Chains A and B, each alone.
Chain A
Amino acid sequence: MKKQKTKLKGITACPGKVKGKIWKIENPIEVLAVKKNHIVIVPFTTPIIALAISESKAIVCEKGGLTSHAAIIAREFGIPCIVGVKDLLNSFKDNQTVVVDADHAEIYEA
């Protein structure tokens, strides 16, 4: 039987659609080096990791609403962002290729 692709839904914080590799950040209070062109998945963002994710293609967060830190940063940078995605970190692996369709508030395996 064909395995169903993982697809999760949240709330659109900034629209747009991109495909890319996941950078999974589990500890948002650790200082990290900047990684370019990744799709960041994170429980929530903090000022500490903000610089690291400033060159990302998209941000997807397990927690947060339309006025959360990630949502505001993404809107300023103009990159797709989905927030409030339940079970996000358990569902995707680091470096996995996914599509973030923030127009429809979805993240799924490519």
Chain B
Amino acid sequence: MLKYMKLNIKAKKLVKSQCAVILAAQDKSGSSGRWPMPILKSTVEASIFSEPVLAKFFYNRVSTLLEKGYSFEKISLLFPYASPLARLMMIFRSRKIWPMTADEKIEVANWLAEILYYHYKKDHFVVSGENILWDSETVNKLSFLKKDVVRPALVAKLDGKLWMYTEMLFSRWHNLGHEFHGSYDIKNKKEKLLVKEWHDLKGLGWNIFKNFPYKKIVCYEFYKNNDVSLDLHNRLFSKRPIIQSVTRCVIKADDKILNNSEVNDLLKKMDDFLLAGAKYLSGMNKKELKITNAYMEFYAIKPLADELGENWQPPQELLMKIEEEKLGQKEVKLLEILQRHYKKMDRKTIKMEFDPSAIFE
């Protein structure tokens, strides 16, 4: 008799966090409009092509590293940020068509949880709304914490525009370009610190984005009297806008601390990039959107490919499959089911899709 592997404790917790995030994303209006809708019927229309291949590549690459003697902690260190990797939890919805055994599918979840685990200093997998990636020693060592160089209103504009920019840059996969973490307690202060790291700001090297002035911008935002929380996929919630509770902000771009005037200059420059990005995205057809999606999905596991000296980009066969719009019978059937679910998901369908130990009917 075939013996199925079970999810480990960490993976169970990760699945719980994933299901909670998806449940929170449901809304009363039914199908929530989301880019690249309405060009695609749903985001799954693109992911159905790439998720099975991505799952296999993730499995093979982690498997090779483990065989080479890497520990999960060492693999974890290859990933500078937690949330892009956590995004892989989305791929379980297509596990029915993954070219893998049942055991291997469960192993993907177990390994993902093991690797992610080392990123969090507490509240693993952001179950309770905290994304604690730094220890208190690191936070208290920040040498510029006493400076107050940028007006909060400017920081709100910068955050808003950076959010839009990362979403354009990574075509809806915004958290490939940001990691918000905290909130951290500040020693001897009543303030809390929220860190917004905007990274990989030149994207995949595409012409319209490659000349962005900085590779990375970090916003250190200190606030009081607000409830701020994050989820597994790095979405931020607050009882009231952060801007209304911010006490001081420091902006670091690459290695430079920016002043008000420099932030203003950056905001002006950003408008040009945002306009170019809007034009670029609006010109994409269905096929191009699906291909772009494949690139973004594979970019999330780029560190594994880099470590093994492999090409991180989606394989040619996958790109050809998208080009030819070749979906098999099973894939078409699954796509229909997922698109039906997509309109409105309840606890049962969410568990069915994202808990790899559940039976997908």
Query: How far does the alpha carbon of A73 sit from the alpha carbon of B163 in the complex, in Å?
Result: 7
A65 touching B156, Cβ below 8 Å: no
When C-beta atoms are compared, the residue in chain A nearest to B279 turns out to be A31
Count, A-B residue pairs, CB within 8 A: 128
A14 proximal to B (CB < 8 A)? yes
Which residues on the B side are within 8 Å of A84 (C-beta)?
27-29
Chain B residue with the shortest CB-CB distance to A66: B24
Known: A30-B282, A78-B243. A69 touches B34 (CB 8 A): yes
Which of A34, A51, A72, A78 touches B235 (beta carbons < 8 Å)? A72
**Other-chain residue from B33, B35, B157 in contact with A47 (beta carbon distance below 8 A):** B35
Q: When A64-B27, A76-B160, A78-B243 are in contact, do A29 and B32 touch as well, CB less than 8 Å?
A: no
Comparing B111-119, B164-172, B254-262, the segment that makes contact with chain A is B164-172
Q: Check if A90 is an interface residue, CB within 8 A of chain B.
A: no
Give the distance in Å from the alpha carbon of A51 to the alpha carbon of B24 in the complex: 26
- Does A20 sit at the interface, judged by CB under 8 A? no
Are A76 and B39 CB-contacts (below 8 A) given A43-B33, A44-B34, A51-B164?
A: no
1/0 per residue, CB under 8 A from A, across B20-57: the answer is 01001111111111111111000000000000000000
A51 in contact with B27 given A14-B241, A73-B163 (CB within 8 Å): no
The A1-41 residues at the B interface (CB cut-off 8 A) are: 11, 14-16, 28-31, 34
Q: Which of A59-88 contact B (CB under 8 A)?
A: 61-69, 72-73, 75-79, 83-86
A97 at the interface (CB under 8 A from B): no
Given the contacts A50-B164, A67-B25, A44 and B281 also touching, CB distance less than 8 Å = no
Complex Cα gap A63–B161 (Å): 22
- Cβ-neighbour of B242 out of A67, A72, A75 (below 8 A): A75
Q: For the complex, is B149 an interface residue (Cβ under 8 Å from A)?
A: no
Please tell me if B275 contacts chain A, counting CB pairs below 8 Å. Answer: yes
> Whole-angstrom distance between the alpha carbons of A7 and B26 in the complex?
24
Q: Which residues of B contact A34 (CB under 8 A)?
A: 271
Contact A46 B242 (CB under 8 A): no
Min CB gap A38→B, angstroms: 16
Alpha-carbon gap, A29 to B37, bound state (A): 9
Known: A63-B31, A73-B163. A48 touches B236 (CB 8 A): no
Please, which residue of chain A has its CB at the minimum distance from the CB of B31? A63
Chain B residues with CB under 8 Å of A77's CB are 156-157, 159-160, 241
Q: A46-B33, A50-B167, A63-B27 are in contact. List 4 more A-B contacts (CB 8 A).
A: A51-B278, A54-B164, A54-B274, A68-B34
7 A-B pairs with least C-beta separation:
A44-B33, A65-B27, A78-B241, A78-B243, A77-B160, A51-B274, A50-B164
